[in-house]
Amino acid sequence: MITRLETGQRMSKIVIHNDVAYLCGQVGAGETVAEQTADCLSRIDALLEQAGSDREHILQAIVWLRDMADFAEMNAVWDAWVPEGHAPARACGEARLARDVLKVEIIITAAVRR
């Protein structure tokens, strides 16, 4: 069974299949990459809760930065957010994002809590 939450014409914010939650890419508001990352992670927290998951159940994260020069600044926020001992598999790359003001986008896959 596939469950789709907050589904629109283009995408669903959450898709759950076989107790795995797939979140659509999240971006955040703010001027700096740190501010955008913090806001983005706050949005991820809300979606994880809605999906019946949490930070400790994240399986994989894909991080896209507009500029890899922001890697350390983004990581400072990320490292404080990830629970110790629960770091997911993660990739980070540089990409042109949907809008010029965006500095970071994060895609999460997580196990649903049992």
The full set of domains in the chain, from first to last, is 2-111 (3.30.1330.40)
Catalytic residue check, 40? no
Q: Which of 92, 97, 107, 111 is catalytic?
A: 92
Residues 70-85 have pLDDT tens digits of 999 999 999 999 999 9
Confidence of residue 114 (pLDDT cuts 50, 70, 90): confident
Using the predicted structure, report yes or no on whether residue 112 has a pLDDT greater than 90: yes
Q: Are 94 and 65 in contact, with CB atoms under 8 Å apart?
A: yes
- Around 91, how many Cα atoms within 13 Å sit in the side-chain half-sphere? 6
Residues 6+ apart with CB under 8 A from 53: 21, 110, 111, 112, 113
Mean pLDDT of the chain: 98
Question: How much is the pTM?
Answer: 0.96
3-state secondary structure 66-77: CCHHHHHHHHHH
